[in-house]
Structure 1
Amino acid sequence: MAILRLVGRRLLSSVPLLFLVSALTFVLVSLVPGDPARTLVGQHATAAQYAAVRAQLGLDRPLPLQYGHWLAGAVQGDLGSSLFSGEPVTSMLDSRLPVTLSLILAGTLVSGLLGIGLGLLSARRGGRLVRTVDALALLGLGVPAFWFALVLIVLFAVRLRWFPVTGYVPLTDDPGQWLRSLVLPVAALSLGGVAVIAKQTRDAVLDTLGKDFVRVMTANGFSARSITYRHVLRNSALPLVTVLGVVLVSLLAGTVFVETVFAMPGLGGLIQQATVEHDIPVIQGAVLYVTVFVVLVNLAVDLACGRLDPRVRAA
């Protein structure tokens, strides 16, 4: 019952957030230089033709009325249509969502497994591994994902020809080719996440190893492996779950650049194209999808933290 109340509170508190983000996005996009009506009719169109297209797209109405019309449709699940293709925004986003989700979920899995493994190993052994994790953290935070993606393409796609240079194969078409098309993008996307999680894991485990209960268990003859994996790692899980949620959200931002470099038909490429074309309904719909995703990730983190620590659940 407490979990249901928590979910209900989080979902209710997200409603003003969705409204605020959508309104702010609408205002900011309207301030960006560009006119979709002029792009559609061309530079040599007459004033009457230009005015007719603006009226057809609803761009001649005041900005509050434009936003109110969009909001009324969004509440009913209608995000409008693209100003350029006329395709429903929901269909455009839904068709590209599996690509982005594949990248994000695979990137989170790789970041979590490698990051926790490296951090745990460096905390237990110390020495060079500690310096390696620090160097990896500096590299992961300092190297842009798109630059690392270009390096991976040159080495493993162009020279060695192990993986395709660009493109995406749906899982339902060919699972093997789907996996091959994800390897390089996920590797480029996960570098920063591995670095952050590895450093956070090492610090959390070292902090837990200094607790009194660890010294008591060591004095009573418990093996180091049992202490580490059955007790220390569990007690260090709370900050790891939190940082994993942060990494998951940051991977969503990184997909915009990675999808562009690898020419993958995901949300990132669609957002970039819509921004260039000033396609307001597509931008609004994409921002709404992203905001809902962030809300769900935060909710999952809260539930996981409540499961791990009763004090969080009680609060």
Structure 2
Amino acid sequence: MFLFAMRRIGTGFILFLIVALITFWLLSFSFDSVIAQKLGTAASPETIAALKSEMGLDRSVVVQYLDWLQGVFHGDLGRSLYTQEPVIDAVPPRMVVTLSIVIPALLIATVIAVILGVFAASRGGGADKGAQGLMLFGYLVPNLLVAILLTVVLAVNLHWLPATGYVRFGDDPVGWLKSITIPVIALAIGGAAAIANQVRGAMIDELRKDYVRTLRTRGVSTRAVVYKHALRNAAGPALTVFMITFTNMFGGALIIEQVFALPGFGTYSFNSALQVDYPVLMGLTVFGVALTLGVNLLTDLANGWLNPKARIY
């Protein structure tokens, strides 16, 4: 397992270098826009050249990238072009905000998905059709629409929860819970549908296998067959969807954070993209790639633990 983890980390490091290079190269086409935003369109060529030299933008893209990469290895991701805030200090608090809605949403979605998927696969018939209807509803209803409806009902009409804003857990745990409740529910619905559909399909395949029939003929209870044996073997494919859902929720968080005015990773990315704040965007790339690779590694390790046949280490 250790060697497998080391290989995955090495592969992930190479992938990070490639993604960072491509991102930096694409952002290099917008360097002129950065200069224009800082100086305006009426700036003289001499002033533009002086600012480019000051910011190091007069060098080749490769040299700039290597300088940035050297800073990354020393824990320096640069500073925001507009706030001068170090990126290494600016991103983690915003990542915490996003994770505080994504992780609870993913956990809730997983619990609902397992219950719904196992129920549909083990019962069949009308129960299966009803469960598939709920899954279809989760697929079709956009997160934004769910968020708006919940806000109208729970915040505007009933005044149970705040409509916008974010409260830090350290300042007020109850206020924090109230501030993330609607965003978490809005994200969880779509994620639950995706995972539940995979759990249902994998469970149906497992329940049709010979070992399940053998266990039943030996008098093993249906509960034990379903939850102790079939569910564990069906967890591998579901884990893959779990990882994909986690990544998709980060994309969904961008919209949710805008709706509820949450100072998270998505909002910070959106505002930085509008300002073409490339040091911040590169820092966000570092954190985003690292998080994605970490989740992928944990998913592979968990899959191998649950299903020895799937082990590749």
Q: Whole-Å Cα distance in 2 between the matches of residues 279 and 69 of structure 1?
A: 17
CA contact (8 A) 2:81 2:279 kept: yes
CA contact (8 A) 1:149 1:188 kept: yes
CA contact (8 A) 1:57 1:83 kept: no
Question: Structure 2 regions of 5+ residues with no counterpart?
Answer: none
TM-score with structure 1 setting the length: 0.93
Aligned to 2:262: 264
- For the aligned residue pairs, the C-alpha RMSD in angstroms reads 1.9
Q: Whole-Å Cα distance in 1 between the matches of residues 251 and 61 of structure 2?
A: 28
Which aligned pairs between 1:79-98 and structure 2 lie closer than 5 A? 79-98=77-96
- Tell me the amino acid that sits aligned with residue 308 of structure 2: P
CA contact (8 A) 1:111 1:194 kept: yes
CA contact (8 A) 2:31 2:57 kept: no
Which of 167, 183, 186 lines up with 1:185 in the alignment?
A: 183
Alpha-carbon distance, 1:127 to partner:
3.2
Aligned to 1:206: 204
Alpha-carbon distance, 1:148 to partner:
2.5
Alpha-carbon distance, 1:48 to partner:
4.0
- Tell me the amino acid that sits aligned with residue 87 of structure 2: V
Aligned to 1:176: 174
Alpha-carbon distance, 1:43 to partner:
4.2
Change (3 A) 1:191 1:32: farther
Q: Whole-Å Cα distance in 1 between the matches of residues 295 and 111 of structure 2?
A: 18
Alpha-carbon distance, 1:232 to partner:
1.6
Alpha-carbon distance, 1:46 to partner:
4.5
CA contact (8 A) 2:167 2:175 kept: yes
Aligned to 2:309: 311
Alignment of 1:291 with 2:289, yes or no, is yes
- Percent of aligned positions that are identical: 37
CA displacement 1:138-180 (0-9 Å, x = unmatched) = 3333333233322222222212222111111111111111111
CA contact (8 A) 1:34 1:278 kept: no
Q: Whole-Å Cα distance in 2 between the matches of residues 144 and 54 of structure 1?
A: 44
Aligned to 1:39: 37
Q: Whole-Å Cα distance in 2 between the matches of residues 135 and 33 of structure 1?
A: 49
Aligned to 1:102: 100
CA displacement 1:66-97 (0-9 Å, x = unmatched) = 22221121122211011111111111102212
Aligned to 2:61: 63
CA contact (8 A) 2:4 2:312 kept: no
Alpha-carbon distance, 1:255 to partner:
1.3
CA contact (8 A) 2:106 2:188 kept: yes
Which aligned pairs between 1:234-249 and structure 2 lie closer than 5 A? 234-249=232-247
Question: Structure 1 regions of 5+ residues with no counterpart?
Answer: none
More deviation, 128-137/22-31: 128-137
Change (3 A) 1:231 1:30: same
Change (3 A) 1:268 1:314: closer
Q: Whole-Å Cα distance in 1 between the matches of residues 58 and 312 of structure 2?
A: 53
Which of 47, 51, 54 lines up with 2:52 in the alignment?
A: 54
Change (3 A) 1:34 1:166: farther
Q: Matched residue of 1:35: which SS? A: helix
Alpha-carbon distance, 1:181 to partner:
1.1
